[in-house]
Chains A and B, each alone.
Chain A
Amino acid sequence: MPIPLLDIQRLTVEVDRHSILDRLDLAVQAGEIHALLGANGSGKTTLAYVLMGCEGYVPSAGRVRLDGTDLLPLKMHERARLGLTLAWQEPARFEGVTVREYLSLGKPGCDPEPALKRVGLDPDRYLTRRMDKALSGGERHRIELASVLSMKPKLAILDEPAAGIDMLSIGHIIDIIRALKEAGGSVLLITHQEDVALIADRASQLCAGRIVFSGSPREAVDHFRGQTCVRCDGEVCGYVRP
């Protein structure tokens, strides 16, 4: 087995003495799309925030390596410059900042048009628009993904990238996730949508802060759908055999 691009070992996060991530182990290989499934409250978004280094998400134990570099001592922008990024489930709004500026962050002179086209948005209509309330939730989601694509990260964490996207546009989201892989990157794909999860190379199920299943996406989806959780017996995550 090659050395994983992302190597998480015994990662533990507690909030008010309540365990959110409990000695979590997870590996994502280079060039892999790895789907992460789990019930609401199972710790998926917390894991994303801890990996990115968001304020207030500090693990009490464990180790995380990205391409061999210890991630946890680094600040958020240092992690980003190492090749890690995060697309939020609910993307931020930026008053006054144009889509062109947003897609060119840290890359002056770059051409943002290809990334915008890749998410199915017309550059002529969108590049001069502002990232404010005038954009719908779905538009912001797609621009967020275009921003991640134009960054060419080693590992992109996508937190519910298809949430709020109309069914006709899901194909663009799937296309851009694949584009991240084609560009040589890896994706940690947090999703509740089966058709999105099934494009992954591998998938894991998270329950009560710990990985309880890893396998093919089909296996993981079936496991998630049909079985009582092996870890909590449905007490925490609510998943019981139908």
Chain B
Amino acid sequence: MSDLEHLMRVLPMVGAEPAILDDTGIAHVVAQGHHILSRRTVPGLRVELEETPGALIGQIVVEAGVTIVQPIHLCFGLTHPTGVQQIAIDVHVQEGAQARVLSHCLFPVAQAAQHRMQAMMTLGSGASLTYTEGHYHGLHGGMQVLPHATIKIGKGARYFSDFSLLSGSVGNLDIDYLVEVEEEGLAELSAKIFAHKTDRITLKESVILRGERSRSLIKTRVVLEGDASAEITGITEAHAKGARGHVDCMEIVQGRAHASAIPIVKVFHPEAKVTHEAAIGSVDKKELETLMARGLNPEQAVELIVSGILR
């Protein structure tokens, strides 16, 4: 089986179908390690990636005023139990452009492997980017994943990100995102993770609301079981008049797992406002009992509550 076939076989684990590669209207990049296995672009989209021994380096540009109708699929992964994949990529969504990116990170047989992503994203004035990132790290728990990104959101631009890792093992996950939002810009960051066994999660998301009437939401949902652990830090700073931010973190802890949530909010302008809510604990007793009063046993009730939280 070729590396491409291998990656495409596990693509459904993150909710995508291999048929995307055959669709001439859908842009994509598929890379195994530091080798590009397949790529296609569409009008208004430039994909400039270079294979080097130590990393995959390059940029993706959505040209000014262009709307990329179909999602752009980025499929990165390793098809071997060991190895390193390092990606340094810049994503530029120019003024008035709109795009959706579906990033699929696949490490189906990883036992002692590492994936590093260093990204810089810029959104020009009035641009919009939805970045949905689905991960599958296999069942061995031997994956170390370090996605780090700096995102700069221009005037009136809108950025939505959704990170999910819901099946298989997490391994060791260290996310670090820094988002800066200019005047009337919007940033919504969502992360959903289901961790098991000895998985370790460090998630740090920082939003700096620099511009007037800029807005942000950091929403995190983490469910931990077994001996898994998580440290979730959500930071929002508001520096300008009318800036509004909210941090919403919920962690469900089961078994011997443990979790911490650190919401940090800072306000530097009297007409700015940042709020936060964090809840860590077992499954909500009232939700559990309500479902049991409808006839679900405790295991069925917990499963439904957890699956709802991670949607």
Query: Considering residues B221, B292, B296, which has the most beta carbons from chain A within 10 angstroms of its beta carbon?
Result: B292
Asked if B70 CB lies within 8 Å of chain A CBs, one says no
With A52-B293, A85-B293, A85-B294 in contact, do A96 and B286 touch (Cβ < 8 Å)? Answer: no
Neighbour of B290 across the interface among A55, A92, A96, A101, CB < 8 A: A92
Asked if B304 CB lies within 8 Å of chain A CBs, one says yes
Instruction: Give the distance to chain A from B228, nearest Cβ to Cβ, in Å.
Output: 20
* Residues on the A chain within 8 Å of B291, using CB: 105
* Residues on the A chain within 8 Å of B304, using CB: 94, 97, 101, 105
Query: How many residues of B are counted as interface, with CB atoms below 8 angstroms from the partner's CB atoms?
Result: 24
Asked if A58 CB lies within 8 Å of chain B CBs, one says no
Interface residues of B in 266-311 (CB under 8 A from A): 284-287, 289-298, 301, 304-305, 307-311
Q: Could you tell me the distance between the alpha carbons of A151 and B285 in the complex, rounded to whole angstroms? A: 21
Q: Could you tell me the distance between the alpha carbons of A47 and B287 in the complex, rounded to whole angstroms? A: 19
Q: Are B289 and A55 in contact (CB under 8 A)?
A: yes
Neighbour of A95 across the interface among B285, B290, B292, B308, CB < 8 A: B308
With A55-B285, A88-B286 in contact, do A95 and B293 touch (Cβ < 8 Å)? Answer: no
Q: Could you tell me the distance between the alpha carbons of A92 and B301 in the complex, rounded to whole angstroms? A: 13
Instruction: Give the distance to chain A from B133, nearest Cβ to Cβ, in Å.
Output: 19
* Residues on the B chain within 8 Å of A81, using CB: 295
- List 17 extra interface pairs beyond A81-B295, A85-B294, A95-B309, CB under 8 A: A55-B285, A75-B292, A76-B292, A77-B292, A77-B297, A77-B301, A80-B292, A80-B295, A85-B293, A86-B293, A95-B308, A96-B307, A105-B294, A105-B295, A105-B296, A106-B295, A106-B296
Interface residues of A (CB under 8 A from B): 52, 54-55, 75-77, 79-81, 85-86, 88, 91-97, 101, 105-106, 130, 147, 151
Q: Could you tell me the distance between the alpha carbons of A77 and B298 in the complex, rounded to whole angstroms? A: 8
Neighbour of A94 across the interface among B221, B298, B308, CB < 8 A: B308
Query: Considering residues A55, A86, A101, A105, which has the most beta carbons from chain B within 10 angstroms of its beta carbon?
Result: A105
Q: Are A88 and B290 in contact (CB under 8 A)?
A: yes
Q: Could you mark each residue 57-68 of chain B with 1 if its beta carbon is under 8 Å from any beta carbon of chain A, else 0? A: 000000000000
Interface residues of B (CB under 8 A from A): 221, 250, 284-287, 289-298, 301, 304-305, 307-311
Instruction: Give the distance to chain B from A91, nearest Cβ to Cβ, in Å.
Output: 7
Q: Could you tell me the distance between the alpha carbons of A81 and B308 in the complex, rounded to whole angstroms? A: 23
Q: Are B295 and A91 in contact (CB under 8 A)?
A: no
Instruction: Give the distance to chain A from B82, nearest Cβ to Cβ, in Å.
Output: 36
Q: Could you tell me the distance between the alpha carbons of A54 and B292 in the complex, rounded to whole angstroms? A: 9
Residue of A at shortest CB range from B298? A77
Instruction: Give the distance to chain B from A47, nearest Cβ to Cβ, in Å.
Output: 15
Instruction: Give the distance to chain B from A83, nearest Cβ to Cβ, in Å.
Output: 10
Residue of B at shortest CB range from A76? B292
Instruction: Give the distance to chain B from A79, nearest Cβ to Cβ, in Å.
Output: 8
Q: Are B308 and A76 in contact (CB under 8 A)?
A: no
Q: Could you tell me the distance between the alpha carbons of A79 and B132 in the complex, rounded to whole angstroms? A: 43
A-B contact pairs, 28 of them (CB 8 A): A54-B289, A55-B285, A75-B292, A77-B292, A77-B293, A77-B295, A79-B293, A80-B292, A85-B293, A85-B295, A88-B286, A91-B290, A92-B284, A92-B290, A93-B287, A94-B304, A94-B305, A95-B221, A96-B309, A96-B310, A97-B304, A97-B308, A105-B291, A106-B294, A106-B295, A147-B294, A151-B294, A151-B295
Q: Could you tell me the distance between the alpha carbons of A215 and B289 in the complex, rounded to whole angstroms? A: 32
Neighbour of A96 across the interface among B285, B289, B298, B308, CB < 8 A: B308
Q: Could you tell me the distance between the alpha carbons of A55 and B284 in the complex, rounded to whole angstroms? A: 12
With A95-B309, A96-B308 in contact, do A80 and B285 touch (Cβ < 8 Å)? Answer: no
Residue of A at shortest CB range from B285? A55
Instruction: Give the distance to chain B from A12, nearest Cβ to Cβ, in Å.
Output: 22
Instruction: Give the distance to chain A from B27, nearest Cβ to Cβ, in Å.
Output: 31
Query: Considering residues A85, A86, A88, A95, which has the most beta carbons from chain B within 10 angstroms of its beta carbon?
Result: A95
* Residues on the A chain within 8 Å of B297, using CB: 77
* Residues on the B chain within 8 Å of A106, using CB: 294-296
Residue of A at shortest CB range from B286? A92
Q: Could you tell me the distance between the alpha carbons of A81 and B284 in the complex, rounded to whole angstroms? A: 22
* Residues on the B chain within 8 Å of A76, using CB: 289, 292-293
Instruction: Give the distance to chain B from A110, nearest Cβ to Cβ, in Å.
Output: 12
Instruction: Give the distance to chain A from B85, nearest Cβ to Cβ, in Å.
Output: 32
Query: Considering residues B285, B289, B295, B309, which has the most beta carbons from chain A within 10 angstroms of its beta carbon?
Result: B295
Q: Could you tell me the distance between the alpha carbons of A93 and B287 in the complex, rounded to whole angstroms? A: 7
Q: Could you tell me the distance between the alpha carbons of A131 and B97 in the complex, rounded to whole angstroms? A: 35
Residue of B at shortest CB range from A79? B293
Q: Could you tell me the distance between the alpha carbons of A228 and B109 in the complex, rounded to whole angstroms? A: 75
Q: Could you tell me the distance between the alpha carbons of A95 and B283 in the complex, rounded to whole angstroms? A: 12
Instruction: Give the distance to chain B from A1, nearest Cβ to Cβ, in Å.
Output: 29
With A81-B295, A85-B294 in contact, do A92 and B287 touch (Cβ < 8 Å)? Answer: yes
Instruction: Give the distance to chain B from A96, nearest Cβ to Cβ, in Å.
Output: 3
Q: Could you tell me the distance between the alpha carbons of A130 and B311 in the complex, rounded to whole angstroms? A: 11
* Residues on the A chain within 8 Å of B308, using CB: 94-97, 130
* Residues on the A chain within 8 Å of B289, using CB: 52, 54-55, 76
Q: Could you tell me the distance between the alpha carbons of A55 and B288 in the complex, rounded to whole angstroms? A: 10
* Residues on the A chain within 8 Å of B294, using CB: 80, 85, 105-106, 147, 151
